[in-house]
Amino acid sequence: MKKTSVLPVVLLLFILIVFASLMGRYQGFVTYKELSRNSLLQQLILMVRLPRIVLSLVVGAGLAVSGIVMQTVFQNSLADPGILGISQAAGFGASLGFLLFPTTRIPIQVFAFISGMISLVVVLRLARRIENQNRLSLIFAGIAISAFFSAGLGIVKYLADPLDQLPSIVFWLLGSLSTSDWSAVVQIAPLSIVCMAILYLLRWRINAYSLSDSVLYSLGIDRNIEIYLILGISVLLTTTIISFSGLVGWVGLIVPNVARLAFGYDMRKSLPASILIGAIFVLFSDTLARVLIAGEIPLGIITAFLGALIFIVLILNNRSRA
């Protein structure tokens, strides 16, 4: 078997973490000497940059895992929470939660999860109605649902207080980790990590959902129950992340494709690889978002820019091989 080691990827991630914690608007790049002398700088790294780095790792890994799970289950390398309409639904739910309960975070998460699940169930049913085997039917259903929730989001925006709530919603929708602190880490990371851990442990079995229903039956698997369970966990993971980070697009679409290209189609390897590559991708993008200009660039803009670039490279690569 072709052995591609994940070690270089781990190393890259580690180096990136170190660099990211030493880079920022305050003082540009920090050297070790400065760090040991300047206690304000130590505080800054510990209380501001570190939680943000942790969150960017969780966001990247989580969105990538959701993406690869959905792509594998649906046998469609374009399926991801964005294209299936789950991100839009989560965006709608979270905004609605914010509109109704502006002071607490929990309703935002709950609303995002509920509308994400609604979108998942509707997409699955719609796709099944249209045509069982056609891979495009899933995408069509996703587009429809996405448009539906975009409209809902439009209503929420229209109803929001234009001075106070609307700017928060709009900025949040662009995707950003600028509000990171340790309390946000406590709120987002444990649940996300539990979801990821479950999907990580199930990774070999997820391979099998590519098999036909009758074969799965002969292997003792009830496809419908297990798929709803696994997609439900993925939706919980995605919506938990989105309810904090906003719509950080393209991670769930691009990262799994890159991971499969490098590590093959077996989830035993491609899922862990997605975790690492997703974490690297978002940490890198978020560091750019922090340091590129004096202000803050929304993370979603950077991931969209980089993601679209990589996507084009992937398409061209695919064409030249075919």
* H helix count then E strand count, the chain: 15, 2
Among 49-57, 84-92, 262-270, 302-310, which window interacts with other proteins (CB under 8 A)?
Answer: 262-270
Among 112-120, 201-209, 288-296, 300-308, which window interacts with other proteins (CB under 8 A)?
Answer: 201-209
Q: How far is the CB of 246 from other proteins (least distance, A)?
A: 33
x/- mask, other proteins, residues 144-183, rule CB under 8 A, reads ----------------------------------------
| CA-wise closest residue to 63 among 222, 219, 196, 220 | 196
- The whole-angstrom separation of Cα 30 and Cα 43 is 13
Among 168, 210, 262, 296, binds other proteins (CB under 8 A): 210
Among 31, 103, 214, 320, binds other proteins (CB under 8 A): 214
Q: How far is the CB of 19 from other proteins (least distance, A)?
A: 34
- The whole-angstrom separation of Cα 88 and Cα 152 is 9
**Maximum alpha-carbon separation in the chain:** 67
- The whole-angstrom separation of Cα 174 and Cα 316 is 28
* Subset of residues 9 to 38 that bind other proteins, contact rule: CB under 8 A: none
- The whole-angstrom separation of Cα 95 and Cα 93 is 6
Q: Please work out the total of residues on this chain that contact other proteins, with binding judged by CB under 8 A.
A: 26
- Does residue 212 interact with other proteins by CB under 8 A? yes
Cα within 13 Å of Cα(118), Cβ side:
16
Q: How far is the CB of 202 from other proteins (least distance, A)?
A: 6
- Does residue 217 interact with other proteins by CB under 8 A? yes
Among 1, 40, 163, 225, binds other proteins (CB under 8 A): 1
Chain length of the chain: 322
Q: How far is the CB of 134 from other proteins (least distance, A)?
A: 12
Residue in this structure with the two tokens 């998942």, named with its chain if needed: 120
- Does residue 215 interact with other proteins by CB under 8 A? yes
| Cβ contact 191:200 at 8 Å | no
- Does residue 211 interact with other proteins by CB under 8 A? yes
Q: How far is the CB of 308 from other proteins (least distance, A)?
A: 24
Among 26-34, 182-190, 197-205, 247-255, which window interacts with other proteins (CB under 8 A)?
Answer: 197-205
* Subset of residues 60 to 99 that bind other proteins, contact rule: CB under 8 A: 75
| CA-wise closest residue to 138 among 84, 68, 77 | 84
Q: What angle do CA 228, 55, 180 make, to 5 degrees?
A: 125
Question: Which residue number, 100 or 215, has a Cβ lying nearer to other proteins?
Answer: 215
Pure H helices in 101-222:
106-130, 135-159, 165-173, 182-201, 203-207, 213-218
Among 4, 42, 204, 224, binds other proteins (CB under 8 A): 204
Q: How far is the CB of 252 from other proteins (least distance, A)?
A: 19
- The whole-angstrom separation of Cα 93 and Cα 156 is 9
Q: How far is the CB of 213 from other proteins (least distance, A)?
A: 8
| Cβ contact 296:32 at 8 Å | no
| CA-wise closest residue to 290 among 184, 179, 167, 166 | 179
- Does residue 315 interact with other proteins by CB under 8 A? no
Tokens coding 212? 């036909």
Q: How far is the CB of 159 from other proteins (least distance, A)?
A: 44
| Residues binding other proteins (CB under 8 A) | 1-2, 75, 133, 201-202, 204-205, 207-208, 210-215, 217-221, 260, 264-266, 268
